[in-house]
Structure 1
Amino acid sequence: MPDRDILDLEHFLPYRLSVLSNRISQDIARLYADRFGLGITEWRVLAVLGRHSEVSAREVAERTAMDKVAVSRAIASLQAAGRIERDTHGHDRRRSCLRLSPAGRAIYDEVAPLALAYQRRLLEGLAEDERAALDRLLTRMMELELATRPA
């Protein structure tokens, strides 16, 4: 039998990043799931709109790298619950813009500090130079991933 490459999943970077991301996302979800009935995708939509007002659904999907269908469902749910509002963009009636409603802003204003505190707790075990290195490496890996993505 010919030699073949063996994928050691526990040391495979995409797998490790995915597992870590899922664990962190699930931990953070506890901050808003029970209290506000939000799922991870819905919170991410609110978080994007809390940071970037007046964006399209397409822009939300791009900023979060989430599936467009999942984003669309989250937007519909948030809009039905009165947490986001949708308007047309200026003179371009084909493009709609999303923004937080007052109820959505109140949720964002309550959850964002909790999420930031979670991040601080997560990073406090790292030295300052390790945190800076982690930030640089993640930024660089995102740049490399974008550069190597098929057109």
Structure 2
Amino acid sequence: MDFKLETFLPYRLNLAAELVSQRFAAQYRARYRMTRPEWRALAALGSYGRMTATEIGANSSMHKTKVSRAVRALEEKRWLKRSEDLDDRRIEHLELTPAGRRIYGEMVVLARDYERELAGLLGTGGLKQLEAGLAAIEAKLAAPARRRAPKD
């Protein structure tokens, strides 16, 4: 049986995603001393507003232990605050502090700059092809949306 891992599409997609992610992570790690789970939690809260840890996990496809560590780290940096649910004391709502919103705003600029850099590497035609391919995969394989719509 002939099988080459390096040509297996799921492997290639994962490798490409990891390369892109690592390159961006190096930028925010150097500037903000932030881990990938912290960035993902910060980005979810910045994009969608107040959420629970469970919602952050569902939105970012992170395991609850990673979410918990990221939330704790963001809280220690004073970028996130917790509030107890008035109806169910087991639930905590999480939201960015003013400092967290400022960092999120800076991260959006960094993310957009990085996205432009990647688009330049691919060229217009390559970017359009990639976007079309990703859209096709997402349309065919995506489970019903669990994600929240971004806040206005």
Structure-1-length-normalised TM-score = 0.82
**1:31–1:111: 8 Å Cα contact kept in structure 2?**
no
Structure 2: distance between partners of 1:91 and 1:101: 23
Aligned Cα RMSD in Å?
2.0
Tell me the equivalent position of 2:82: 86
Tell me the equivalent position of 2:127: 131
| Structure 1 stretches of at least 4 aligned residues deviating more than 2 Å after TM superposition | 88-95, 124-137, 142-147
Q: Percent of counterpart pairs with the same letter?
A: 36
Q: Which deviates more from structure 2 when the two are superposed, residues 81-90 or residues 42-51?
A: 81-90
Structure 1: distance between partners of 2:138 and 2:12: 15
Q: Which has the larger radius of gyration?
A: 1
Residue 74 of structure 1 deviates from its aligned partner by 0.9
Residue 98 of structure 1 deviates from its aligned partner by 1.2
Residue 29 of structure 1 deviates from its aligned partner by 1.4
- Aligned residues between the structures: 143
Q: 1:129 to 1:108 in 2, by over 3 A?
A: same
Structure-2-length-normalised TM-score = 0.81
Unaligned runs of 5+ in 2: 144-152
Tell me the equivalent position of 1:106: 102
Structure ranking higher on relative contact order (CA contacts 8 Å, 6+ apart): 2
Tell me the equivalent position of 2:92: 96
Amino acid at match of 1:138: L
Q: 1:125 to 1:102 in 2, by over 3 A?
A: same
Pick aligned residue for 2:71 from 69, 72, 75: 75
Residue 143 of structure 1 deviates from its aligned partner by 3.7
Amino acid at match of 2:47: R
Tell me the equivalent position of 2:147: none
Residue 49 of structure 1 deviates from its aligned partner by 0.8
**1:83–1:104: 8 Å Cα contact kept in structure 2?**
yes
Structure 2: distance between partners of 1:69 and 1:134: 32
